[in-house]
Copies of this chain bind each other. A is one copy, B any other.
């Protein structure tokens, strides 16, 4: 992660709570109508940028068309989101048509901010772009064939190659889904695909028994890569999305070292349980400080608004190791 001097968004754990991860009392931090055209703003990504933070936001408009928008904040809690969607220029390809863009992630690698998102090209696949300044954006070749969602880049190269987590899917409300990893020497050609982690047997951990998907950009910790991910259970009244954590091996990130059997957070508040799609917690980004032992997790709530939750990295790692599947 880039160094920056901004204060990490933070709020201490509520007194009566023993939760490993706890919600910000000011949630939702971004409401559905935070820009004039928006129906909903959720499943969005933030990174340290200059003296504060920048982000790429999923804003569905009132025609319920999906697109991604840049935004900026000094404290990570109050955001100014552009009123127009990101206008990509040609990156490593001229083929930059998108039917839609949603669920962005942002990762700084080497010299630039890489953005991945679910890109509409004859169905959902993983779009890739980059920016140096959050003003000019460049779109690259799609990473994979359709159908795919939840593409998340590791923040460092592995053996000299970019590494991307993703979740092969189908073209609808996919009732299955496991996390894979793929590698690329050049952000154009991808290969060496490996299965990383799968949905669980119902008996073992039902909240993640239907499908799972990578969430936030993994954080380098001593034990490996710490990743927040979402898991889904198919109830008789639809899908419910909760959040867990996994620790992947540092050198061989297709090896899962630990993975929470319990969830870290499940829909409980009105803004998570009621909205365009009820009962959804969907993490897409986090900000952290290893020195302060803090992490702030950004998540979409009910496919409508954006919330933030906090935790101590050391506690989360301990919890993940001690409650691993």
Interface residues of chain A, those whose CB is within 8 Å of chain B, are: 18, 32, 36, 39, 60-66, 93, 95, 99-100, 120-122, 125, 141-148, 166, 168, 170-171, 173, 176, 178, 180, 182-186, 188-195, 198, 202-207, 233-240, 261-263, 266-268, 270, 273-279, 303
Contact = CB atoms under 8 A, between A and B. Distances in A.
Given A147-B168, A166-B145, A65 B192 contact: no
Contact of A273 (B62, B234, B275): B275
Give chain A's interface secondary structure class: loop
Nearest to A147: B168
A84 to B, nearest CB: 16
B176 A171 contact: yes
B193 A63 contact: no
Contact of A261 (B63, B122, B192, B238): B63
Given A178-B122, A207-B63, A274-B274, A191 B190 contact: yes
Nearest to A186: B189
Contact of A237 (B145, B176, B204, B278): B278
B193 A263 contact: no
Given A39-B207, A145-B148, 5 more contacts: A65-B205, A141-B193, A143-B191, A188-B191, A235-B277
B275 A142 contact: no
A178 B125 CA distance: 15
What is the copy number of this chain in the assembly? 6
Contact of A195 (B39, B122, B192, B268): B122
14 contacts: A63-B206, A63-B207, A63-B263, A100-B203, A125-B193, A141-B191, A141-B193, A143-B191, A145-B145, A146-B180, A184-B191, A190-B190, A238-B238, A276-B279
A237 B239 contact: yes
Given A120-B203, A141-B191, A191-B143, A237 B62 contact: no
Nearest to A173: B236
A285 to B, nearest CB: 22
A237 B238 contact: yes
Nearest to A323: B63
A189 B189 CA distance: 5
Contacts of A194: 95
A170 B203 CA distance: 17
Given A190-B190, A235-B277, A145 B122 contact: no
A93 B279 CA distance: 41
Contacts of A173: 234-236
A278 B261 CA distance: 24
Given A93-B192, A203-B99, A180 B145 contact: yes
A64 B192 contact: no
A295 B214 CA distance: 48
Nearest to A236: B173
Contacts of A18: 36
